[in-house]
Amino acid sequence: MNTADILIIIAIIAALVLAVLKIVKNKRQGKSSCGCDCSKCGKCDKGTGYLSH
Amino acid sequence: MTLKELQIGSPAVITNVGGEGALRQHFLDMGVIPGARVKIIKYAPMGDPMELKIHGYQLTLRLDDAAKIDVTPADEYEDDKPEPSRKSKKSHPGLGETGKSHPEENSKPLPDGTLLTFALVGNQNCGKTTLFNQLTGSNQHVGNFPGVTVDRKDGAIKGHPDTLVTDLPGIYSMSPYSSEEIVSRNFVLNDKPRAVINIVDATNIERNLYLTMQLLEMDVPMVVAINMMDELTANGGTIDINEMEELLGVPVVPISAAKNQGIHELIEHAIHVAHYQERPLRHDFCEENDHGGAVHRSLHGIRHLIEDHAREAGIPLHFAASKLVEGDELIISQLALDDNEKEMIEHIVLQMETERGLDRSASIADMRYSFIHKVTGLCVKKPRKSKESIRSAKIDRILTGKWTAIPLFVLIMGLVFYLTFDVIGGTLQGLLENLIGTLSDITDKALTSGGVNPVLHGLIIDGIFAGLGSVLSFLPIIVTLFLFLSLLEDSGYIARVAFFMDKLLRKIGLSGRSIVPMLIGFGCTVPAVMSTRTLPSERDRKMTILLTPFMSCTAKLPIYAFFVDAFFPKNKALIMVGLYFLGILTGIIVAFLFRGTIFKGEAVPFVMELPNYRLPGVKNVALLLWEKAKDFLQKAFTIILIATVVIWLLQSFDTRFDLVSDQQDSMLAIIAGWITPVMKPIGLGDWRIVTSLISGVMAKESVVSTLEILFGQEVSLVMSKACAASLLVFSLLYTPCVAAIASIRRELGRKWAALVVLWQCTIAWIAALIVFQIASLI
């Protein structure tokens, strides 16, 4: 395994970790990751009973 | 005579509003009340519904509903009368302003640093989201269709971090007609915002003030923002703001949200009333001398009777009393009245009905509209006919014309798809593909010259570049389709489509309003499912949600383009359009099936406002496209990147994590092998295809990236045309992605979401089987 291999492995792992973190962050913020119109939708009822109606 | 029998262009006065329940209440709330003047503008191309003018705005109504409304011919429609000019005589009352005096009993200042929460409340399509964007600096999408805001959104006012504005869905009244109205009402009653910013459309002020009356009854600190003042004044109209402020008892601020005019003043007033908790100076709109004071005496009597119950339930007294008279079941149950009290109230209301000569709901609606007419009579000089409405009428002659509406709709949609898949999107996609290909070649050479391990080399070039690259190249097509959908919506055309498609959709058990979620479904199922909240009937909502996934979303485009390019390059456009039509056709068949089984009954009445045509704002459209592109790229570099790497690893290693020489021995082949037998009859028995379809559940674009990794460039050599056709049909119809399933679960619950997955997969399997068998014979 040469230096280039090590650097590539680090880069791939870093990219994957960042991707997972982004998904988790979006989920926590109530955003979806469907690539559509929902990144702005809020996706939560914030306790107003919205969904129960 | 009834409204149904009235001739086009003939003015009439409403004498009686028939019907019952929530729908009748909705008619009354929309201003269809005895005494109101109406004029029929036109009928939809198929003869139903009709478009009529009432209180200066356009409303659509089905003929069956129009038959329940009695009218008598009138000399002229009120808007045709010349308006007298008005000059302000009142000095500025100065409500909600620092430095001005206000009654001490009406002001209870909050401690400094308290979070000031505001609810942004207004009619549908009156510019709430535009104002929200101006107030908070956010970039929410704005549309020209009633009901764009289907979920509440929050944000702090720019430069005021201790504030929080909530943009609520557009509503016409505080009656529980649609779920949005209940949401907005509950938000004001239960979440208790510090103040309400009531946005009122100046060009349609009478109907908009109807909601204002009810907000005033709710006794919440409030500011009225009169929006679109620029449009009103440009057409010769004026509003005496001082007089209106005096009459309503709350600060009134003229604004133009689109042009960012008056926003600063609005913010100052809103913060002032919220901080000092200045409540409206007026909550009572009944006149002592109106028809012998029947409504006045009834409301005042009921208020005394329910005072303790209203206080205990936390419902503003004036609001509770009018809702009791209207017979609002939700409020009646919240007040927890004794049987004796209920009986007394019933007697009071019956007496009022006798004296007033109108039923309870009509009496309250009439009281509110009488007050509104008094206010507008004193302060509003309406424009004789706005440029916008003249322009809209001219455009409508063609776009909703009897013989032109449907051919033009087909032509417009055909043009949208042609431009998207061929001229604009297709060309840009080719350019992007070349760019990605060049980048892949450069990287390939760099990795080879750097002596990188062949496994890592394979992961980057055959895994990440092939998988991710194939998905990224579809960005132009997706953005282009959203561009056109956005232009159609923002211009006001989609509202017209709902109008003239109503009769057709009713044949499959739906209302014209269901066309909107379905058209949005061509973009993405998630917002389409959410937009069904504008439908006031639970039956229509459920049915529309279940049918929306049949409208092919943009995420499936990469799959179609990939297979059509590889197998049917000569009939590219035909097959693409054919797939869309197949989705629609399956939806129609399923709708008929639903209508005869689980969703028996009639579609919700079609009572909808038709907005004027507007030129879509460049900034609004650009922001929407940017959001789409950003979301797509974000998904590509998160979910699809992870999926790409995981699939590459699973197909490169066996269960002992040894590198495999034959992919048949890989972990992926073993996992997919369990499902393969089920897919064999439809020609998709290859474990690689099964794997790609499974990855598509996560995100539809993953199907292509997975196929690229597993097949490389040899898809067309391995699969037959029949298999490709079967896969195209299966991809079109099988389960929506997880995000769409989640949104269905949110709207309908777990059981329905699970049912949608199973149902869609079954239909997809049957359709693919038919296509595969037919294609195999050819």
pLDDT greater than 50 at residue B505:
yes
φ/ψ of residue B15, rounded to 5: -110, -30
Which chain A residues contact residue B153 at CB under 8 A? 40, 42
CB within 8 Å: B635 and A33 = yes
Distance in Å, alpha carbon of A37 to nearest chain B alpha carbon: 6
Residues 6 or more apart in contact with residue B589 via CB below 8 angstroms: none
Confidence of residue B142 (pLDDT cuts 50, 70, 90): low
Cβ of A32 and B645 within 8 Å? no
How confident is the model at residue B371, as a pLDDT? Answer: 93
pLDDT higher than threshold 50 for residue B709: yes
Q: Do B674 and B767 form a contact (C-beta atoms < 8 A)?
A: no
Residue B61's φ and ψ, nearest 5 degrees, are: -150, 140
- For residue A27, list chain B residues with Cβ-Cβ distance below 8 A: none
Cβ of A34 within 8 Å of Cβ of B737? The answer is yes
Helices (H), B653-749: 667-673, 676-679, 687-698, 702-711, 715-718, 721-733, 738-748
A1-53 pLDDT, tens digit each: 788 889 999 999 999 999 999 888 877 765 544 333 333 333 323 222 222 22
Q: What pLDDT score does B695 carry? A: 83
Residues 415-474 of B with CB under 8 A from A: 447, 450-453, 456, 459-460, 464
Q: Is residue A26 part of a domain?
A: yes
Q: How confident is the model at residue B83 (pLDDT cuts 50, 70, 90)?
A: low
Which CATH number is associated with domain B104-276? 3.40.50.300
- Determine the pLDDT at residue B76: 67
Interface contact B183-A2, CB threshold 8 A: no
The number of residues making up chain B comes to 778
Query: pLDDT tens, B286-336?
Result: 988 888 899 999 999 999 999 999 999 999 999 999 999 998 888 899 999
How close, in Å, is residue A22 to chain B by CA atoms?
A: 7
Q: For residue A40, what pLDDT is reported? A: 38
Pull the structure tokens for residue B331: 């409020």
Chain B residues within an 8 Å CB radius of A21: none
> How sure is the predictor about B78, in pLDDT bands with cuts at 50, 70 and 90?
low
* Contact assignment for B153 to A15 by CB distance below 8 Å: no
B553 to chain A: closest CA residue: A36
Where are the domain boundaries for CATH 3.40.50.300 in chain B? Answer: 104-276
With beta carbons under 8 A apart, name residues in chain B contacting A16. Answer: 641-642, 645
Q: Which residues of A touch B (CB under 8 A)?
A: 1-2, 4-5, 8-9, 12, 15-16, 19-20, 22-23, 32-43, 46, 48-51, 53
Condensed to tens digits (0 to 9), the pLDDT of residues B338-394 reads 999 999 999 999 999 999 998 999 999 999 999 998 999 899 888 777 778 888 989
User: Residue B159: which region, alpha, beta or left (left: phi > 0; alpha: psi -120 to 50)?
Assistant: left
Chain A CA closest to residue B736: A34
Interchain pair A37, B637: CB under 8 A = no
For chains A and B, CB pairs below 8 A equal 130
How high is the pLDDT of residue B739? 77
The confidence score (pLDDT) of residue B104 equals 59
Residues 139-178 of B with CB under 8 A from A: 139-141, 151-154
Q: Are strands B160-167 and B116-122 parallel, antiparallel or unpaired?
A: parallel
Give ranges for CATH 2.30.30.90 in chain B.
3-82+384-403
Measured CA to CA in angstroms, residue B272 lies from B96, B165, B195, B275, B567 at distances of: 6, 15, 10, 5, 67
> Distance from CA of residue B752 to its chain's centroid?
21
State how far residue A30 is from chain B, nearest Cα, in angstroms.
12
Residue A10 lies in a domain: yes
Number of domains making up chain A: 1
Q: Provide the pLDDT for residue B100.
A: 57
Q: Of B152, B191, B526, which has the smallest distance from its Cβ to A37's Cβ? A: B526
Q: Does B697 touch chain A (CB under 8 A)?
A: no
Among B460, B639, B649, B752, most A C-beta atoms within 10 A, so best to mutate, is: B639
pLDDT at position B151 is 54
CA-CA-CA-CA torsion sign (A9, A10, A14, A15): negative
Q: How many CB atoms lie within 10 A of CB B187?
A: 22
**Do you know the residue count of chain A?**
53
**β partners of residue B196:** B119, B222
| Alpha-carbon span B201 to B262, nearest angstrom | 14
What's the CA gap between B172 and B211, in Å, rounded? 6
**Amino acid symbol at B160:** H
Average pLDDT over residues B507-526: 84
Locate the DSSP E strands across A1-53: none
What is the reported pLDDT for A17?
A: 93
Residue B192: left (phi > 0), alpha (psi -120 to 50), or beta? left
B601-615 average pLDDT score = 78
Mean pLDDT over each residue of chain B, to the nearest integer: 86
In the chain, the amino acid numbered B101 is S
What is the rounded CA–CA span in Å between residue B240 and residue B668?
73
Q: Do A9 and B456 touch (CB under 8 A)?
A: yes
Does some domain include residue A24?
yes
Parent domain of A14: 3-40
The answer, yes or no, to whether residue B44 has pLDDT greater than 70, is yes
pLDDT for res B707: 86
What number is the ipTM of this complex? 0.70
How distant is the Cα of A25 from the closest Cα of chain B, in angstroms? Answer: 12
| The two structure tokens encoding residue B373 | 């007419």
Say whether residue B485 is in contact with chain A using an 8 A CB cutoff: no
Any idea which of B239-253, B338-352, B479-493, B548-562 has the lowest mean pLDDT? B479-493
pLDDT digits 0-9 by tens, B548-604: 999 998 889 889 988 998 899 888 888 988 999 999 999 999 999 998 888 887 766
Tell me the average pLDDT across B15-19.
88
Fold of B290-381: Helix Hairpins (1.10.287)
Which is nearest to B11 in space by CA: B31, B33, B34, B41? B41
pLDDT at B612: 85
* Cis peptide bond upstream of B254, omega within 30: no
Render pLDDT for B395-423 as a digit per residue (tens, 0 to 9): 999 999 889 999 999 899 888 878 887 78
Pick from B179, B191, B555: CB nearest A35: B555
CB contact under 8 A, A34 and B191: no
Among B128-132, B275-279, B668-672, the range of highest mean pLDDT: B275-279
Of B182, B456, B641, the CB nearest to A19: B641
Does A51 reside within a domain?
Answer: no
Q: How far is CA B642 from CA B444, B668, B702, in A?
A: 21, 15, 10
- Is A45 inside a domain boundary? no
Strands, E, within B20-131: which ranges?
37-43, 50-54, 57-61, 69-73, 116-122
Name the minimum distance, in Å, from the CA of B153 to any CA of chain A.
Answer: 7
The domain made up of B3-82+384-403 has a fold known as SH3 type barrels. (2.30.30)
Question: Pseudo-torsion of CA B561, B563, B565, B566, nearest 10°?
Answer: 160
Give contacts of B459 with chain A, Cβ < 8 Å: 12
